[in-house]
Structure 1
């Protein structure tokens, strides 16, 4: 327990295709949902990676297609990443050199706190805790390298 897998260069580690399984828990209502899909990190011409996630999200028994796009750009320090939304707005930083990283993202009245842990060369996890006036969520995503 408590052991993480250090990653000298996050962009090199993340490149490729990952199976993504996410649980979404609403702590206020007790509702739970699930996302199942694929996350592809492909090279950007300008450097960095384009993160494209697609799959199905099931909430209250209803299955819907779900997707999101992010940009993972080289960070200020070697091996680190600056994560941005598709439209270029900053999201959070990412430093996996110790195998674990915590990032905050304020969004209106809500605070998103993400914990990233690398389990081994083919598995990593994110846990986002979202708190605010109308939100009390935990989103846990397990990634497994494909191919």
Structure 2
């Protein structure tokens, strides 16, 4: 399904700020929810990235603040990532070299099956299918890179010449 963008270095690709929109469906009950917010991947001392997600999760019409923190560490080979929970427990591996990656995470008796897809420099998606005795869910998250606002155009006004009484304007 579609063409995916190769990412030779996942940590370099992920670095920065992303807008996040996640749909959550409980396949057993039919209930649906949605998370919207921001994920920032910022450098960690010693290498890797701190993944900090903050936003609002609406479940059955009730909005709640939501956040999570993960650590994306250099993996066993160049470009690969070892994803860990904030407390250091392993979560999953990640290799975006082909633009697509599948991975699993066992959680008690449930199994999280993840798929990562990179569409271009500014868009990627994760899909987690969670199954087991405690959960039957589908979570689809779309990430869109946030670009810094462009700097205002520089003034084309001429600077005062020597002997002029016009003071310099403050610089931003």
TM-score, normalization by structure 1: 0.99
SS of corresponding position for 2:76: coil
Residue 132 of structure 2 aligns with which residue?
A: 132
1:100 aligns with 2:100: yes
Gaps of 5+ in 2: 148-172
Q: Cα offset for 1:2?
A: 2.5
How well do the aligned residues superpose, as a CA RMSD in angstroms?
Answer: 0.5
What CA distance in whole angstroms lies between the structure 2 residues aligned with 1:15 and 1:31?
A: 33
Residue 84 of structure 1 aligns with which residue?
A: 84
TM-score, normalization by structure 2: 0.85
Q: Deviations over 1:94-128 (max 9, x none)?
A: 00000000010000000001000001000000000
Residue 2 of structure 2 aligns with which residue?
A: 2
Structure ranking higher in strand proportion = 1
1:13 aligns with 2:13: yes
- 1:1-147 map, 5 Å: 1-147=1-147
Higher relative contact order (CA 8 A, sep 6+): 1
What CA distance in whole angstroms lies between the structure 1 residues aligned with 2:48 and 2:26?
A: 33
State the 4+ residue runs in structure 1 displaced beyond 3 angstroms.
none
Q: Which structure has the larger Rg over C-alpha atoms?
A: 2
What CA distance in whole angstroms lies between the structure 2 residues aligned with 1:88 and 1:27?
A: 30
Q: How many residues align?
A: 147
Q: Cα offset for 1:46?
A: 1.1
Gaps of 5+ in 1: none
Q: Cα offset for 1:137?
A: 0.2
What CA distance in whole angstroms lies between the structure 2 residues aligned with 1:98 and 1:125?
A: 14
